[in-house]
Structure 1
């Protein structure tokens, strides 16, 4: 149960934001992390689809992580990088695999994008599959909360995370040649990382080369990994990783528009700390194309084309024998055409078309899902109508068609109620999503956003056709072939303030989801490892078995609140002191019987203090996660914990705006060596977060 005290603190934050007096902040200094964070409300949100709309002007909840704040929070995984953002958590399947969760919704319900195109990996299929992206090469992350994300897919009922980098140069360079190099060391995992990014070109052509390499040992933890089996203390077994990534891109700039392309490679080998010596050997090869026509035509002032093509493979390897247990492959592409309308009176907007295809297969000893080809087509539109200077309406719709065709289905699969997959079976479906919202400006530098969205999420192949053992989750997973749409009705209310002594945002939300699909444990049957059969409980003594989980649909309700507020105690040229307060909470339950849903994050509160003076930047933060007392019968309870961190940065010389020259940085995390276990993790009972750690590094811009 969420405590009244934690809820009250969030409401007080909201009230402080609403009561704050308005004034104009000092201009942002180059590289000033606090100023960057304040001005993020005035940053254009590429992911929104509405031409030149800022976070301050959007109806739905939006977060932007960029600049010094992003570089400071960059971690091994995207989930860990975004962990301190209100409303976001991660799957935390060990230190090397963590996918973002938005307001308690993850997996298929959170759309992962790279420069506006799907990540085209297998991270949505299982929590032990990492997102194929290098956080240290990211320039900007945009998070759109809630289901009003009509440009990118009906599956995004939780929201969208768009990872933006410069693999395809987006603008002509300011100098003929430039770049950066970074080296860092982290103590908990003995992590050694090197990063480089270089670019060259002219006002007509630009080339960009990026790369990164990371190697770690097993991660240090505060105490026992599994207190019930105290054999490993101080180190999380099988948690080391080695990762390499590289990209080469180029863009041509012309009078009528631009066209660019990039090829990239991502390779990683990381241990999966499930108690067995299993590692994932993952690689992705990817081609991205981006074109933009800036010359007006017909009813449109510009057009944007985005295409991504990827060949993804990962093998689950037995480290003792070197044998490959299972190999997953995903050959996929996604393309989207956006047409930005010319202004017609007070109406602006974007219409478009999206196509996507995924050829997914798994071969080996643990085949959870039969091979399948998923293809989708969609038409979408998002519009904005300015009623008057104080009121703006935003609305849109998306129609999506999806087909799933199965490959060969093993005829010897165990029979199970609700499962009826067969070789060559084709499943076709369609869904409609609509949204409407309003942004009201009650006073200077204030905005109030209200968003109402109805969306239909089409079931994924893994939810319909799974039937097999899954080592990553330690279970036998079974789909339900006849699952219907998920129907989501969501309401979001967000208040923002962008200038003055207090800045930030706070919001509340409620989502009713009919036919919410999740895995529920079968209390009657188990999977017998020795015979490959499904049997009725009890399990004979000494037998090895897996619990059975089936994808089922139940009506569910999600509701909660989130806030991030900054108090600017000192705001003078060359000197800033700001206090940050953040918090979030989400409650999720089945509406028929008020039963908890699995792996829902508990309430959190955070407090931070940042100080900048001259070339110095210093800060500390405390984040408290409350005890999660609502969980399903098969889950373990997670205790409350508090994480304390510090950070410092010094710039030796400036080379002008955006080019800080040489800087050195240091960071300390979990300084109290707290035993922290995430309620959202499948491995919470055996894999805590890293213990006390220190990071030092240097970054050179040239």
Structure 2
């Protein structure tokens, strides 16, 4: 599909979710940026590089089963697919810890060495009140190293000005056995509250557009409770506890996820409107423990002709504990946020041949990771409509190699056993924003620099490190990213439009070489290489008449290893979304056309810890419809048909189908669901 035609088509279209006009003081609009329609098909920025939405709203395609699935509605995001759920989010071609992923302002680390259970696998979007995304290295408030961006799933404080109770819930049924239930209930009085959120979600294997069954079934649940003390409307002390579990089949992996057990504890304190220059204080502590089991016998039968002919299982766990404190000072023409954060995690594992035999094995700790940082971010109000925002932070990161042996089936003594690596990592950004007084136009220009410690998967998962290094732990250097961001937003009476562009240099970009070809069991080597990146997103919305909206968005990412000229691996192709919507306050209807170009800029020998480029991919177009009805302010119903014309297609970012499910030895991408209908009933009391 011709990329230039897509660009021309976008110029004639407009976005479903328009950018809100910035406040004159340049502060981020804290309102939830929802669409008038009952079904979300796209999200637009509410401020420079910042996207905010309510993840409880129905969205199309069929409402999300995990955090990564919901992020796909944000321009610039894609998902590395391996089955029906638990894909890995990718922003602008950037993957892994380049995205700072937070749930309840706490870090959630997956445990699988190949990221079968990435952090978003443990997030049920509908149990959170708000999703906030900042693209690029344009904030230092929520951790270092976030060269791609920061993602926060947040829960708000349910303050009660008088004794009472609130509740909301939803039921969803759909094709391929989809069946979801969500419940949120809270009760309280001016002095305190209790809140419960829970969900259950399941689906069977789906059929693609050609009628082939794709192993992809999942079942998962989450339950979280919070108890808060609110001596006044501006003060809260909250304790929380949570748990969850699930299972998932993966067409693109040699094992399935037989357990996704999560245990979470949290404590947070907030004090606002103090009244002096020091205006706010916030602090939180968190503890997240995941216990993940992968095996080849619970949700499938071992493949006697494959690389794992006998029943086997691997049990991995990742415990993360940390905290953050931030203080906000406000002057007549400035706001300053400063504070500190810290995090410590421990990864352990055990495995065995035979059904359930791993339970008799002892746990072995293989890695310990630590990080501590201090940060400050200043917003200076230079003049009406003129703002300067900047920040800096310094992190101290450590990684300890606790492995006595390495090498898989034939382990050898680990040359870096007991060694600790320490790095000091600075980050900073500066951005100028201007809102014109005589027209609804806002623009910004910023530059950011961040340094990132190699994460667990880059230090401990590769079988080899750079040439001359004992292993990846000894040889992979921190990654350094410098990026320029430019943007423009226009908010008119009938037309809204926005564009965000970026260009950067990544020094010591961490890339995986896949040696010896193959998929399962291929030798991987982690190394550093300089890379150039650029791209952007754009969107527009046109309201031709009352109750009607027409719109579209465009996303493009490009990357290249500057020393070799190879294409950066795992970069999604050009994508456009076109929307049409009608909403009269009671009835709503909408259509979504998603058009994806072919991608021929690939490097089949390169990839990341999850997988490698599988070669060029074909373009496709998928058309979906939705409709909704508001019975009243409390009761709503929404329905949709995804992939209306039953198109047979696959995403570019993909894992090869596994031979245990009958896929051929030559890499074959996993195809997406065919025509799928769904209906969702939501109630709020």
Q: 2:345 maps to what in 1?
A: 358
Q: 2:94 maps to what in 1?
A: 105
Q: 2:283 maps to what in 1?
A: 305
Q: How many residues align?
A: 629
Q: 1:629 maps to what in 2?
A: 600
How much has 1:210 moved relative to structure 2?
A: 1.2
- Change over 3 Å in CA distance of 1:21–1:408 after alignment to 2: closer
Q: 1:507 maps to what in 2?
A: 500
Q: 2:372 maps to what in 1?
A: 377
> In structure 1, how many angstroms separate the alpha carbons of the residues matched to 2:218 and 2:161?
35
Q: Is the Cα contact below 8 Å between 1:455 and 1:487 reproduced in 2?
A: yes
> In structure 2, how many angstroms separate the alpha carbons of the residues matched to 1:21 and 1:488?
30
Pick the aligned partner of 1:454 from 440, 449, 453: 449
Unaligned 5+ residue runs, structure 2?
Answer: 23-30, 303-309, 359-363, 465-469, 606-613, 658-667
Q: 1:663 maps to what in 2?
A: 636
Q: 1:161 maps to what in 2?
A: 151
Q: Is the Cα contact below 8 Å between 1:94 and 1:683 reproduced in 2?
A: no
> In structure 2, how many angstroms separate the alpha carbons of the residues matched to 1:342 and 1:13?
41
> In structure 2, how many angstroms separate the alpha carbons of the residues matched to 1:593 and 1:612?
52
How much has 1:558 moved relative to structure 2?
A: 1.2
> In structure 1, how many angstroms separate the alpha carbons of the residues matched to 2:39 and 2:178?
28
SS in 1 for 2:544: strand
Q: Is the Cα contact below 8 Å between 2:484 and 2:503 reproduced in 1?
A: yes
> In structure 1, how many angstroms separate the alpha carbons of the residues matched to 2:85 and 2:91?
19
> In structure 2, how many angstroms separate the alpha carbons of the residues matched to 1:499 and 1:306?
40
How much has 1:39 moved relative to structure 2?
A: 14
Pick the aligned partner of 1:608 from 570, 579, 585: 579
Quote the RMSD (CA, aligned, Å): 3.5
Pick the aligned partner of 1:126 from 109, 112, 115: 115
SS in 1 for 2:458: helix
Corresponding position: 1:147 with 2:143: no
Aligned residue runs from structure 1 range 537-548, under 5 A? 546-548=521-523
SS in 2 for 1:422: coil
Q: 2:28 maps to what in 1?
A: none
Q: 2:529 maps to what in 1?
A: 554
Q: Deviations over 1:673-693 (max 9, x none)?
A: 122222222347341121110
Q: Deviations over 1:371-401 (max 9, x none)?
A: 1110111000110111110210001101000
Q: Deviations over 1:459-516 (max 9, x none)?
A: 12332233559xxxxxxx9735222221111011111234421124211111210110
SS in 2 for 1:131: helix
Q: 2:664 maps to what in 1?
A: none
- Change over 3 Å in CA distance of 1:460–1:82 after alignment to 2: closer
SS in 2 for 1:614: coil
Corresponding position: 1:210 with 2:189: no
- Change over 3 Å in CA distance of 1:297–1:21 after alignment to 2: closer
Q: Is the Cα contact below 8 Å between 1:107 and 1:124 reproduced in 2?
A: no
SS in 1 for 2:122: coil
Q: 1:430 maps to what in 2?
A: 424
How much has 1:69 moved relative to structure 2?
A: 4.9
Corresponding position: 1:181 with 2:172: no
How much has 1:177 moved relative to structure 2?
A: 1.2
Q: 2:85 maps to what in 1?
A: 96
> In structure 1, how many angstroms separate the alpha carbons of the residues matched to 2:549 and 2:410?
61
Q: Is the Cα contact below 8 Å between 1:33 and 1:67 reproduced in 2?
A: no
Pick the aligned partner of 2:267 from 289, 294, 309: 289
**TM-score, normalised by the number of residues in structure 2:** 0.84
Unaligned 5+ residue runs, structure 1?
Answer: 23-27, 42-54, 224-232, 470-476, 528-544, 654-659
Q: Is the Cα contact below 8 Å between 2:41 and 2:73 reproduced in 1?
A: no
- Change over 3 Å in CA distance of 1:624–1:123 after alignment to 2: farther
Q: 2:251 maps to what in 1?
A: 273
> In structure 2, how many angstroms separate the alpha carbons of the residues matched to 1:360 and 1:347?
42
Pick the aligned partner of 1:569 from 544, 547, 565: 544
Aligned residue runs from structure 1 range 391-410, under 5 A? 391-410=386-405
> In structure 1, how many angstroms separate the alpha carbons of the residues matched to 2:213 and 2:177?
12
Q: 1:649 maps to what in 2?
A: 628
Corresponding position: 1:445 with 2:424: no
Corresponding position: 1:261 with 2:239: yes
Corresponding position: 1:481 with 2:464: no
Q: 1:700 maps to what in 2?
A: 683
How much has 1:172 moved relative to structure 2?
A: 2.6
Corresponding position: 1:171 with 2:159: yes
**TM-score, normalised by the number of residues in structure 1:** 0.82
How much has 1:310 moved relative to structure 2?
A: 1.1
